[in-house]
Amino acid sequence: MEDTYEAGIALAGTEVKSIRQGKVNLKDSYVQIKGGEAFLHGCHVSPYEKGNIFNRDPFRDRKLLLHKSEIQKLNAKVMQKGYTLVPLQLYLVSGRVKLELGVCQGKKLYDKRDALAQRDAKRESDRAMKEARQQ
């Protein structure tokens, strides 16, 4: 992770109520910049129980509220090879929903191999320890 940014989100009233209840999932979500605007894709905000007709689509794209200069900086970083914008956390600041964005760089192939080798070695050592305790 290189940088973090704080952005507001354009939401409907029932979405804010659902987020206050903690019914939001950022897993598999990402931020994309289109036409000079930043959008959050893949974020699931569960429908508010008492919202009936006012509920919106849980997976709709949500516009992020950033200054134009911040969007241009983020776009310049994303254009570099291997960088992406990842939502890190969603929180409330004086009644407003904020999203923490991270400018992250993906792992290289050799980094992935190292992580897999370390995980396998740990699994083998845990298995050996468990067998030693049972005997």
Check if the beta carbon of residue 45 is closer than 8 Å to that of residue 80.
no
Indicate whether this model's pTM tops 0.85. Answer: no
Check if the beta carbon of residue 63 is closer than 8 Å to that of residue 36.
no
The pLDDT value recorded for residue 89 is 93
Domain-wise residue ranges, the chain: 3-106
The Cα–Cα gap between 110 and 89 comes to 28
Per-residue pLDDT of 70-81, as tens digits, reads: 999 999 988 887
- Domain spanning 3-106, CATH architecture: Beta Barrel (2.40)
Mean pLDDT of the chain: 88
Reported as a pLDDT band with limits 50, 70 and 90, residue 134 is: confident
Per-residue pLDDT of 14-49, as tens digits, reads: 888 899 999 999 998 999 999 999 999 999 988 888
